[in-house]
Structure 1
């Protein structure tokens, strides 16, 4: 595995492997002409899907841009492919008990301050709050209180990403929050022109 990469501030793109393969790759290819901080392959894998093949295709598209690619939950794939890291929906204690210094590790957080504290203690590289707004792709997430995001920044200086139902139209309501970027799925991958959608999101980012 190559040296550990780091996720920059900005747009964290989440892709859905349930999307038709050529459509997914085509939309991703267009999105990468914008400025993407990272790409995560969501754990929404259809039965019989050759996930390793998809992972390698995504990596091949992202590597020339230096964009890190992460998998959602399935950390074993990091060791079997060229993935740069893993994003967990829940913290697995046995994973953090081992040495994973060259892997980017992210954790989904909600309104439970204990999860944030645990991510800090266990050495996660970033946290992502889900869901800031109602979302069709974040149905398992609770709505996050803005106050919990503020408390998280008091606990850690690690990058904070916001996720769930975020659109350019509602981003103004997030302007008072301390965050490093936003995670987006359909707002980019289902856009007619993904790179233009990224530009619109970037124009609203509250990231200095």
Structure 2
């Protein structure tokens, strides 16, 4: 399998977060359709079912993402980077106090991103540590973002003044409300779970998100 390293840059677009709690065959079919439609980044959320073989599951997803040259992130569980070369990055929910140790243990270049919620100190930390993007959750109420506080658009606007890192927004973001949100604050991409994975036709839903992003 081809291995993509740090040189695989993140610029924005559609960031699909996979829920491994879904039935695997169904999820892989939806992922395949979304990849064919042109999503830009994939992350595996750490919402594992009991007894699941994580490495086998990750490798199945990595095989699909690699075919489309789309970078694959793991949520929090950075140790899997040492076991699966098909993983290109890790997404942190909070600032990792042992980030330097993580880098040394992984032993190869990898992409890094972090959820900032409404905390601009996290943005500053990520910028200082060379992260590849930051993500704000949640912009709107959403079942998938239940643990996130609502973020004010002004906070995202302040973050843009602090850094040129790509900014993703998530939590209830739909093709219908992207235009309104874009008028209130700048961002580079949207992170989506149920908006695509719950769709009957994921490929069409991806195109709707793409059209909404391109129109603003």
Q: Which residue pairs with 1:3 in the alignment?
A: 5
2:189 alignment partner in structure 1? 181
Counterpart position of 1:131: 138
TM-score by length of 1: 0.95
Post-superposition offset of 1:23 = 0.6
The structure with the largest helix share of the pair is: 2
Shifted more, 123-132 versus 93-102: the winner is: 93-102
Q: Conserved in 1, the CA contact under 8 Å of 2:144 and 2:171?
A: yes
RMSD: 1.6
Q: Please, which of 66, 70, 74 is the counterpart of residue 73 of structure 2? A: 70
Shift of 1:121: 1.5
- Uncovered stretches (5+) of structure 2, i.e. residues with no partner: none
Q: Which residue of 2 aligns with 1:91?
A: 95
Offset at residue 207 of structure 1 (A): 7.8
1:44 aligns with 47
Out of 105, 112, 116, which is 1:105 matched to? 112
Which has the higher mean CA deviation after the structures are superposed, 108-117 or 62-71?
108-117
Q: Secondary structure of 1:36's match?
A: coil
Q: Distance in 1 between matches of 2:100 and 2:204?
A: 38
Q: Is the 8 A contact 2:15 2:42 kept in 1?
A: yes
Mapped partners of 1:89, 1:95: distance in 2: 13
Counting matched residue pairs gives: 208
More displaced stretch, 98-107 vs 172-181: 98-107
Question: So what's the TM-score if we normalise by structure 2?
Answer: 0.91
Alpha-carbon distance, 1:172 to partner = 2.0
Cα offsets for 1:121-161 (capped at 9, x unmatched): 12211000000100101111000010110110111001100
2:5–2:111 CA contact under 8 A, matched in 1: no
The answer to whether residue 61 in structure 2 is matched with residue 54 in structure 1 is no
- Give 2:21's match in structure 1, choosing from 5, 18, 41: 18
TM-fit CA distance, 1:28: 0.7
Counterpart for residue 194 of structure 1: 202
